[in-house]
């Protein structure tokens, strides 16, 4: 109870269960997906964070500009939350910790100095503080990290809500025939040869599943330094999905088979998704209510627009420029938002696990874009 109604361990366990099951189920097609659609996933994966950051930047220069209770820290936290991106959140915290607060105070104008002092202690005045003490610098860093966390906490549940709702209603709004889209998707894949399609599916193999999870988790936690830009990693969830897709595509390694019965994997993924969504609601639902008090309300509104505009832009590009069918596009959009709940909504909407291939293809590029954009945001606004 002390960890937000229900422990993070349940959140992580059921998320991993869901991702490894759907990755193993549809990974046999991942090679054909890249052959058929190629760079389109790269563009969609990177496009959604870019559009979202552009929207947040516009908000920073307009509706949030004169709001004394919201600074760049709350704004970048809200962006990370709206994108449901833990890597962006971590990058923001790391970037905030690395700022030379003393030099920043000296180089900013009087209004900027007062804004900084307000974060430390609202009773402090610019005329009284020529340079910041070590205690004041530490207090400012703590307040900055708290601001990022506040924005993330408020933005996350609304980011989940927006992608789940849009992925569910877009086919209805634009009268997309799911059955025809599925036929188109299967026809497109049939035109691409799959050298591993003759590997038979066996029974559920928990040894192979366990190895997939361990390898994926290890890969996901490999951090690639990008110099002054920051660090890049897929995270545990991204690594597990990627490993499941690759192992399923390979099919078999020695005596280990990664092609398993579809029905069993389907039951496993449905169970993981059901419990995962329940845990999301229990852990973050309170923030939806709390968002309607104080500065949380405007941050919540920003989070909604930050993600909704980017999703609609990706939908337009995917459908009207790239000509992608909804089955694969829905997953790619969720991957661009790095949203596992959105992927669950896409799977439920189309009645198939196939959107997960689009998710797995687009998500790594979205994570990289989130890390880069968060770092750039700090260099511009601080």
pLDDT tens figures, 164-192? 999 999 999 999 999 999 999 888 877 76
**What is the per-residue pLDDT for 310?**
96
Q: What is the DSSP string of 320-337?
A: IIS---HHHHHHHHHHHT
Asked whether residue 178 is assigned to any structural domain, the reply reads yes
**What is the per-residue pLDDT for 101?**
87
As a three-state string, the secondary structure of 200-245 is CCECCCHHHHHHHHHHHHHHHCCCEECHHHCEECCHHHHHHHHHHH
8 A C-beta contact, residue 339 and residue 155: no
**What is the per-residue pLDDT for 291?**
58
If you average pLDDT over residues 103-128, what whole number do you get?
A: 85
Hey, which of 22-36, 129-143, 306-320, 354-368 has the most confident mean pLDDT?
306-320
The number of domains in the chain is 1
What tokens appear for 359 in the block?
Answer: 């998710």
**What is the per-residue pLDDT for 381?**
74
Who wins on pLDDT, 255 or 291?
Answer: 255
What tokens appear for 305 in the block?
Answer: 């627009």
What tokens appear for 310 in the block?
Answer: 């980017």
State how far the Cα of 154 lies from the Cα of 166, in Å rounded to an integer. 19
Asked whether residue 1 is assigned to any structural domain, the reply reads no
**What is the per-residue pLDDT for 2?**
47
- Rounded to the nearest integer, the mean pLDDT of the chain is 83
> 15: pLDDT confidence band, cut at 50, 70 and 90?
confident
| Eight-class DSSP state of 317 | I
> 5: pLDDT confidence band, cut at 50, 70 and 90?
low
Domain that holds residue 212: 8-381
Of the candidate ranges 137-151, 270-284, 326-340, 359-373, the one whose mean pLDDT is the lowest: 270-284
Asked whether residue 243 is assigned to any structural domain, the reply reads yes
Q: What percent of the chain has pLDDT over 90?
A: 24
Asked whether residue 3 is assigned to any structural domain, the reply reads no
8 A C-beta contact, residue 307 and residue 162: yes
Residue 27: pLDDT over 50: yes
**What is the per-residue pLDDT for 286?**
61
Asked whether residue 221 is assigned to any structural domain, the reply reads yes
Provide the sign of the torsion angle of the four alpha carbons 59, 65, 70, 71, taken in this order. positive
Who wins on pLDDT, 344 or 226?
Answer: 344
Residue 1: pLDDT over 50: no
pLDDT digits (tens, 9 = 90+) for 118-127: 888 888 888 8
CB within 8 A of 271, min separation 6: which ones? 17
Asked whether residue 77 is assigned to any structural domain, the reply reads yes
Could you list the beta-strand ranges (E) of the chain.
Answer: 224-225, 231-232, 252-253, 256-257
State how far the Cα of 63 lies from the Cα of 61, in Å rounded to an integer. 7
Question: 326-341 burial string, b = 16+ CB within 10 Å, else e?
Answer: bbbbbbbbbbbbbbbb
pLDDT digits (tens, 9 = 90+) for 201-246: 778 888 999 999 999 889 888 877 766 655 666 777 778 878 888 8
State how far the Cα of 4 lies from the Cα of 286, in Å rounded to an integer. 9
Q: What percent of the chain has pLDDT over 70?
A: 89
**What is the per-residue pLDDT for 201?**
74
Asked whether residue 346 is assigned to any structural domain, the reply reads yes
């Amino acid at each position: 109870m002390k960890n937000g109604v229900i422990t993070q361990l349940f959140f992580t366990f059921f998320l991993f269960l869901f991702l490894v099951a759907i990755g193993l189920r549809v990974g046999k097609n991942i090679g054909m997906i890249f052959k058929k659609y190629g760079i389109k996933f790269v563009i969609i994966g990177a496009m959604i964070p870019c559009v979202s950051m552009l929207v947040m930047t516009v908000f920073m220069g307009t509706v949030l500009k004169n709001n004394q209770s919201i600074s760049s820290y709350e704004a970048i936290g809200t962006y990370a939350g709206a994108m449901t991106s833990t890597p962006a959140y971590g990058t923001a915290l790391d970037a905030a910790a690395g700022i030379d607060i003393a030099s920043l105070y000296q180089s900013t104008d009087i209004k900027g100095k007062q804004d900084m002092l307000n974060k430390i202690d609202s009773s402090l005045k610019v005329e009284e503080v020529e340079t910041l003490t070590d205690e004041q610098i530490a207090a400012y860093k703590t307040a900055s990290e708290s601001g990022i966390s506040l924005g993330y906490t408020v933005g996350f549940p609304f980011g989940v809500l927006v992608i789940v709702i849009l992925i569910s209603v877009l086919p209805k709004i634009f009268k997309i025939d799911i059955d025809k889209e599925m036929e188109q998707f299967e026809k497109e894949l049939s035109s691409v040869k799959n050298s591993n399609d003759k590997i038979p599916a066996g029974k559920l193999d928990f040894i192979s599943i366990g190895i997939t999870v361990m390898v994926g988790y290890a890969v996901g936690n490999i951090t690639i330094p990008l110099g002054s830009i920051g660090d890049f990693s897929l995270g545990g969830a991204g690594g597990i999905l990627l490993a499941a897709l690759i192992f399923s595509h390979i099919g078999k390694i020695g005596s280990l088979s990664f092609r398993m019965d579809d029905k069993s994997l389907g039951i496993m993924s449905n169970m993981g998704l059901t419990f995962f969504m329940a845990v999301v609601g229990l852990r973050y639902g309170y923030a939806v209510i709390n968002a309607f008090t104080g500065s949380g309300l405007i941050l919540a509104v920003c989070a909604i627009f930050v993600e909704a505009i980017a999703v609609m832009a990706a939908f337009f590009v995917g459908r009207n420029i790239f000509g992608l069918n909804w089955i694969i596009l829905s997953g790619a959009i969720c991957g661009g938002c790095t949203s596992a709940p959105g992927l669950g909504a896409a799977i439920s909407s189309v009645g198939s696990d196939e959107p997960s291939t689009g998710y797995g293809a687009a998500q790594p590029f979205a994570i990289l874009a989130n890390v880069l954009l968060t770092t750039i945001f700090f260099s511009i606004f601080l």
